[in-house]
Structure 1
C-alpha cells in the first residue's frame, strides 16, 4: 500500500486513527525487522514495536520533516531495543576474552552461502559483539554512535566488532568448506 506520507502524517496529527493504521501498515515490517536483529525474540520484538509506534504517535507533533518518518521511527525502535538490552543483560564480553587483532576497517568478507546460514551464524555470536556487529553493518551506525548508545568507549566498539568479524568469518569459512 503506497500512501502520501505528508498527508497521512498531517491527518494523524489531527487525530485521524485511520492515518495511524496506514502508517503502521507501511512501516511496521521494516521496523520490526530492525528490532528483531537486536532482540532475537519475537515476543519482545512485537512489544517493542508496539511501544515504538505508541511513542511515535504521541510525539508526532515534534517530527519536523514528515518524509523522515521512517527513519525517525526506526531510531525510536532501535533506542527502545537498546534500552531493553541494557536492562536484561550485560552486553559485552570481557576485553580479556578478546584476542588482540590488528586494527582494520576493511569490508567483511562473506562466502557465498544462503542468507539463512549467514543469519544463523550472526545469531550465534556472543550477545555484545553481535549487537555491535548488527548496529555497524545492518543499521549502519558509526562507532561513535554505537559507543554513545551503549555507553561504552570507541575502542571497545571497534574491538568488539573485530572480534565478531573474526568469529563470524571462521564460522562461515568452516560452513562453506563443508558444503
Structure 2
C-alpha cells in the first residue's frame, strides 16, 4: 500500500509540474492539515500558522521543478514550513540565546518521561515556553531533528542547540510541575 501512496503522490507532483490545478488542489488537501500542525507548534498562533502554510504551498508550487524526489514531497514541504516559521520568529526578533559551549557538559539524554495522562500537560507546557525554547523542543522532540540538523536550521552551533534544548527541557519540567 505504501508503494501505491508514493506512486500516487509522485503522479500528483508530476501533474502539478505540468500545471494541473486540480492536482495542486488534491496535493494541498493531502498535506494542509499536517503542515498547519507544524506551523501552529512553532508559531503558537492560528492566524500566523495559516499564513505560513499558505505561503509555503505557494512557494512549493512555484518551485516544484526543483523538487527531485530526494525525499518525499511531504518532507520537502515540511522543511519549507519549518524554515518559514523560523524566519517569521526571527523577524519578530525572538533570539535563540547562544551559550558558551563549555557551560554545560551534557551526558546522555534522559527522556522526558510521560504517561498518557501527562501528554496533555506536556502539550500545555510546551505552549507556555518562550518562543526560542519552544522552537528547540519542537524541532528535537516533535519533529525528530538531531542537534546537528537543528544547528543548520537555526544557524547555531550543535553545542548551542544541545544547551538550549537542555535549558528548554528544564524549563518545561518546571512548568509541568507547577500545573
TM-score band by shorter chain is 0.7 to 0.9
Between the aligned partners of 2:78 and 2:98, the Cα distance in structure 1 is 30
1:18-167 equivalences under 5 Å are 18-65=22-69, 68-93=72-97, 95=99, 103-104=106-107, 105-167=109-171
Provide the secondary structure at the position in 2 that maps to 1:4: helix
Deviation at residue 135 of structure 1 after TM alignment: 0.6
Unaligned runs of 5+ in 1: none
Between the aligned partners of 1:122 and 1:21, the Cα distance in structure 2 is 33
Between the aligned partners of 1:155 and 1:66, the Cα distance in structure 2 is 28
User: Cα–Cα, structure 1 residues 169 and 150, in superposed 2: closer, same or farther, change >3 Å?
Assistant: same
Deviation at residue 116 of structure 1 after TM alignment: 3.0
Provide the secondary structure at the position in 1 that maps to 2:72: helix
Provide the secondary structure at the position in 2 that maps to 1:158: helix
Between the aligned partners of 1:67 and 1:135, the Cα distance in structure 2 is 18
User: Cα–Cα, structure 1 residues 110 and 93, in superposed 2: closer, same or farther, change >3 Å?
Assistant: farther
User: Cα–Cα, structure 1 residues 132 and 66, in superposed 2: closer, same or farther, change >3 Å?
Assistant: closer
Unaligned runs of 5+ in 2: none
After superposition, the CA RMSD in angstroms is 2.3
TM-score of the pair, normalised by structure 2: 0.85
Paired residues of 2:41 and 2:138 also in contact (CA < 8 A): yes
Query: In terms of mean alpha carbon deviation, does 77-86 or 63-72 score higher?
Result: 63-72
Which 4+ residue blocks in structure 1 deviate beyond 6 angstroms?
Answer: none
Deviation at residue 170 of structure 1 after TM alignment: 2.9
Paired residues of 1:5 and 1:67 also in contact (CA < 8 A): no
User: Cα–Cα, structure 1 residues 93 and 52, in superposed 2: closer, same or farther, change >3 Å?
Assistant: same
